[in-house]
Amino acid sequence: MSRIDRYLQSQAERFEEELCQLLRIPSVSADPEHRDDIRRAADWVADQFRGLGFSTEVIRTSGHPLVCAESPPVADAPTVLVYGHYDVQPPDPLDQWISPPFEPSRREGNLYARGATDDKGQMLTHVKSAEAWIETEGRLPLNLKFVVEGEEEVGSDGLEQFIAENARRLACDCVVISDGAQFGPGQPAITYGLRGIACYELRLTGPNRDLHSGSFGGTVTNPANALAGMLAGLVDDQGKVRIPGFYDDVLPLSDREREELASLDFDEQEYLEQIGVEAATGEAGYTILERRWTRPTFDLNGLGGGYQGQGAKTIIPATAGAKLSFRLVPDQDPQKITAGLRKRLAELCPPGIRWELSGLHGSPGVLIPLDSPYVEAAARAIEHAFGRRPVFTREGGSIPIVGTFHEVLKVDTLLLGWGHDDDNAHSPNEKFALADFHRGIKASARLWEELSKISD
């Protein structure tokens, strides 16, 4: 066993304890009530880097602070930019958590807490691997730059701006991100594609107040009825999105990629059982993996209007609204999607209703070339830690900043997810397997060595 791997073994318990410290900070980026917690989480992350002797800065942005750190320079070695996020999704519905979301709890080899897998646990693997190098070898074999943001779950506005203004400071040979999943139990993966996203809020307004639905019903448009109809008009019964131009730029799947995806060991029944659903649906003509990873979608994320309390209340509500999002794939452009959506909503809106659409955020999908020495280095590092060669996957989720790294810094990203699809990211009872936490650290430590051997 190498010195580094021995060090990792000897420090395993402390690493878990430190992860628990970070998980106890409720850094919910969407909720203004948690501003102080966000700041505390940023400071906690910054202190980690200071402890390693990295030059470290907590940078204020238009939104939540950004933590930037750099390892002491190593001449004639590549530079890797590690990205992660310390913010988390809101924990609700709270009553569905077996243990409280911000009191980390170990059960059956898993650590349960909001942010365990997304992304505090995964992000920390790269910090601890750097620590192992510094503590055993006195230095890293390459140059590491870290950018850990607090706004990933709300669109990364501050980071977008920071990258645009600091391209030189962030210059690197490749980016490394662990903020996703392995392909399955015992099957690690390198991810070469992410979907993009376009998120909106739609508000409909009808009468100037809630009305008695007996006195007025049947004479004016009910905003909640209108909302249901308009939303239903955005997708057909074959799972196709009905927005003008929506599919114009969708990169079709090649036969080769279809074959590769089909050759992955995927059990549809298991997939459905795990989420408690009886039948798969979706866009006609595509397999489940193709639908999840390579095809665009429309989803309602929240829906409201009228009376939501106990019992019945017979009203025509004055307003109704929805939060909606589209997952996008290369080469769809979020701005074009917005224009198409507005056109379609105008067509669908019935008389007597005013509608207002606000764009929350958007980012395009990404595809990353697999024929690079970086990918091969990552495959070797993963094999060292997980005992198995990774398979190549795409993912259905979005990490908006990956596209920006490519556009502005002109570099590709290694997406090395240490989590699992059933980690309950964004759901109650989020977890991260402790074995994956430690394998992630081990893979990361080996990755620095493998990447250091690549010369350009």
Question: Could you list the residues that contact ligand BES (CB under 6 A)?
Answer: 118-119, 152-153, 155, 179-181, 197, 361, 395, 397-400
Give the long-range contacts of residues 245-253, CB within 8 A, separation 24 or more: 245/336, 245/339, 245/340, 246/296, 246/332, 246/337, 246/340, 247/296, 248/336, 249/331, 249/332, 249/333, 249/336, 250/295, 250/296, 250/329, 250/331, 250/332, 251/329, 251/330, 251/331, 251/367, 253/290, 253/294
Q: Which amino acid is it at 164?
A: A
Residue number, 180 or 403, with CB nearest to ligand BES: 180
Residue number, 23 or 224, with CB nearest to Mn ion: 23
| Total residue count of the chain as it appears in this document | 456
Name the residue whose CB lies closest to ligand BES: 397
Residue number, 384 or 420, with CB nearest to ligand BES: 420
User: Two tokens at 163?
Assistant: 């990258």
Question: Closest separation between CB of residue 427 and Mn ion, Å?
Answer: 11
User: Two tokens at 327?
Assistant: 């997952």
Judged by beta carbon distances under 5 to 8 A according to partner kind, the member of ligand BES, Mn ion, none in contact with residue 400 is: ligand BES
Q: Which of 131, 152, 421, 449 is catalytic?
A: 152
Is residue 423 flagged as an active site residue? no
Residue number, 44 or 418, with CB nearest to ligand BES: 418
Question: Closest separation between CB of residue 389 and ligand BES, Å?
Answer: 20
CA gap 258, 39 in Å, rounded? 45
Judged by beta carbon distances under 5 to 8 A according to partner kind, the member of ligand BES, Mn ion, none in contact with residue 430 is: none
Question: Closest separation between CB of residue 199 and ligand BES, Å?
Answer: 7
Question: Closest separation between CB of residue 119 and ligand BES, Å?
Answer: 6
CA gap 105, 110 in Å, rounded? 8
Question: Closest separation between CB of residue 345 and ligand BES, Å?
Answer: 21
For residue 245, the surrounding DSSP H or E stretch is none
- List contacts with Mn ion (CB under 5 A): 118-119, 179
Residue number, 48 or 424, with CB nearest to ligand BES: 424
Question: Closest separation between CB of residue 359 and ligand BES, Å?
Answer: 12
Question: Closest separation between CB of residue 113 and Mn ion, Å?
Answer: 14
Residue number, 114 or 145, with CB nearest to Mn ion: 114
Residue number, 104 or 150, with CB nearest to Mn ion: 150
Sign, Cα dihedral of 22, 26, 32, 36: negative
297, 298, 301, 306: CA torsion to nearest 10: -160
Q: Which of 37, 70, 87, 449 is catalytic?
A: 87
Residue among 389, 387, 371 at smallest CA distance from 379: 389
DSSP secondary structure string for all residues of 111-135: EESTTIIIIIHHHHHHHHHHHHHHH
User: Two tokens at 292?
Assistant: 């999840």
Q: Which amino acid is it at 343?
A: K
Judge whether 199 and 325 are in contact, CB under 8 Å.
yes
Is residue 87 flagged as an active site residue? yes
Judged by beta carbon distances under 5 to 8 A according to partner kind, the member of ligand BES, Mn ion, none in contact with residue 181 is: ligand BES
Judge whether 365 and 397 are in contact, CB under 8 Å.
no
Judged by beta carbon distances under 5 to 8 A according to partner kind, the member of Mn ion, ligand BES, none in contact with residue 155 is: ligand BES
Number of Cβ atoms within 10 Å of the Cβ of 401: 24
The catalytic residues are 87, 152
